[in-house]
């Protein structure tokens, strides 16, 4: 086995060199994907060695705040971009979140990226590289180095115009012309073995403090990760995290909100105060989340006040919502007299009147007014029937 090549550099401040002044406009691209924690040099770091293959290791660094809490990973990378011919040294700094999701790159001072003909990257090349690296599902995932080499030659097929077969042309939109192998090499570093190592490291920092922090973060990867760790497979919420799960459900991300709502155990909403909170959330939510909430409510048993609110809401909904609201009421073991009356009042005008009538019929109402309104509706529906 060849001797391991241990690659490590100290942390370098963010920014471009004066030599890259003409590329300054690209800085906004990086800033747009920078987590707020990256705006300052970390107070301290912890270093980890990551083995890439039999000949290469990288030093992965974890940025910590002044309390020793982890904030992000980074690595100051040197890699030769070559296969059999000329090599191009690449110096670049990569940044990931705490779960190994690539976020951005920058360059050490007085360095730049170049194409195969040694022409420096243009601002749009840096922007495209950021988009390439940010795509964890890139077609580059399933491409081998050999696919990027022209058959019958030892030269690197670094241009998408080179006659290197169908594979290279397939990934044309995933690479920068003249820097195909650079894109390939950097993408596989950003999304390679280092990701699993970052996830392993973050797991060692797991604590209630970290879980609470993840749940209030705008990073949806953090929210999913945390929910998997304070909720059981049956959806039981660990004591102390009730407010957190409610915050996620009311959050701006419809996907994490719906996931939390669907995963949490029905018993979570047995509490009367939380039932009121859920109904308030329904009224505040976007349409997509409203539907998810109604579907969740079908399996819940509600107090009289919520039943009445649901019945009242029927006249202000579309067909999809009304159908779900009626289904919720139909699953209740008993509807209050007031709920039944609210429904009965809607019989003459509701588009779902026949369903309301069937629901009331199953309740066998004792309230005289409810029975009278049902009789009147039935007569209007069947005028010839005695």
Domain boundaries, the chain: 5-196, 206-300, 303-386
Average pLDDT of span 23-29: 37
Mean pLDDT of 142-166: 57
For residue 30, pLDDT over 60 is answered with no
Residue 332 is predicted with a pLDDT of 95
Check residue 102 and give its pLDDT. 98
Element (H, E) at 380: helix 368-381
Instruction: Report CA-CA distances (Å) from 46 to 65, 70, 221, 298.
Output: 11, 9, 22, 49
% of the chain beyond a pLDDT of 90: 64
Over residues 224-248, the mean pLDDT reads 96
In this predicted structure, the answer to whether residue 89 has a pLDDT above a threshold of 60 is yes
For the question of whether the overall pTM of this predicted structure is more than 0.75, the answer is yes
Torsion of CA 58, 74, 114, 57, to 10 degrees: 0
d(CA 258, CA 291): 10
The pLDDT of 332-357, averaged and rounded, is 93
pLDDT at res. 41: 58
pLDDT digits (tens, 9 = 90+) for 189-220: 999 999 999 999 999 999 999 999 999 999 99
* pLDDT for residue 2: 36
Query: Taking the C-alpha atoms of 289, 294, 299 and 302 in order, what is their torsion angle to the nearest 10 degrees?
Result: 120
Whether the per-residue pLDDT at 329 is higher than 50: the answer is yes
Which residues, other chains included, contact 230 with Cβ-Cβ below 8 Å and sequence gap of 6+?
211, 237, 238, 241, 244
pLDDT tens, 91-142? Answer: 999 999 999 999 999 999 999 998 877 789 999 999 999 999 999 999 898 8
User: Do you know the residue count of the chain?
Assistant: 386
User: Quick one: pLDDT band at residue 309, thresholds 50, 70, 90?
Assistant: very high
- Please spell the DSSP secondary structure of 125-176, one letter per residue: HHHHHHHHHH-TT-GGGG--GGGGB-TT-SSB--STTS---HHHHHTGGGS-
Per-residue pLDDT, averaged over 272-289, amounts to 96
At 362, the pLDDT band (50, 70, 90 cuts) reads: very high
| Mean pLDDT for the stretch of residues 236-261 | 96
Average pLDDT score over the chain:
83
Q: What per-residue confidence (pLDDT) applies to 131?
A: 96
pLDDT score recorded for residue 42: 62
347 DSSP 8-state letter: T
Per-residue confidence band for 82, with pLDDT thresholds at 50, 70 and 90: low
| Residue 74, token pair as written in the block | 């980074």
Q: Between 62 and 78, where is the model more confident?
A: 62
**Is residue 9 scored above 60 in pLDDT?**
no
Which residues fall within 8 angstroms of residue 302, CB to CB, at 6 or more apart? 275, 310, 328, 332
pLDDT value for 177:
84
- Average pLDDT value for residue range 217-228: 96
The candidate with the shortest Cα–Cα distance to 68, out of 204, 188, 240, 244, is 204
Mean pLDDT of 51-80: 88
Residue 32 three-state SS: helix
């Amino acid at each position: 086995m060849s001797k391991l090549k241990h690659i490590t550099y100290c942390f370098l401040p963010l920014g471009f060199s004066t030599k890259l002044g003409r590329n300054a406009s690209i800085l906004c691209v990086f800033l747009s994907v920078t987590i707020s924690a990256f705006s300052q040099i970390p107070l301290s770091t912890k270093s980890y060695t990551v083995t890439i293959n039999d000949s290469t290791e990288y030093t992965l660094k974890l940025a910590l705040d002044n309390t020793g809490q982890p904030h992000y990973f980074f690595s100051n990378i040197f890699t030769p971009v070559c296969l059999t011919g000329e090599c191009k040294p690449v110096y670049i700094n990569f940044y990931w979140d705490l779960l190994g999701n690539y976020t951005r790159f920058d360059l050490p001072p007085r360095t730049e990226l170049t194409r195969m003909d040694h022409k420096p990257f243009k601002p749009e090349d840096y922007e495209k590289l950021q988009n390439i690296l940010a795509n964890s599902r890139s077609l580059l995932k399933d491409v081998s180095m050999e696919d990027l080499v022209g058959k019958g030659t030892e030269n690197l097929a670094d241009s998408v115009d080179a006659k290197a077969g169908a594979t290279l042309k397939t990934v044309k939109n995933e690479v920068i012309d003249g820097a195909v192998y650079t894109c390939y090499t950097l993408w596989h570093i950003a999304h390679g073995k280092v990701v699993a190592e970052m996830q392993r490291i973050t797991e060692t920092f797991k604590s209630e403090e970290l879980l609470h922090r993840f749940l209030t973060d705008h990073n949806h990867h953090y929210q999913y990760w945390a929910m998997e760790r304070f909720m059981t497979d049956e959806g039981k919420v660990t004591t102390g995290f009730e407010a957190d799960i409610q915050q996620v459900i009311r959050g701006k991300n419809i996907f994490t909100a719906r996931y939390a709502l669907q995963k949490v155990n029905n018993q979570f909403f047995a509490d009367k105060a939380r039932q009121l909170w859920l109904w308030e959330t329904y009224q505040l939510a976007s349409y997509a989340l409203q539907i998810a909430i109604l579907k969740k409510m079908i399996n819940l048993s509600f107090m009289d006040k919520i039943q009445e609110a649901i019945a009242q809401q029927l006249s202000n909904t579309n067909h999809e919502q009304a159908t779900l609201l009626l289904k919720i009421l139909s699953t209740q073991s008993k509807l209050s007299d007031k709920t039944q009356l609210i429904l009965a009042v809607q019989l003459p005008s509701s588009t779902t009147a026949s369903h309301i009538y069937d629901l009331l019929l199953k309740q066998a109402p004792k309230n005289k007014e409810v029975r009278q309104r049902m009789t009147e509706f039935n007569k209007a529906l069947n005028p010839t029937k005695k």
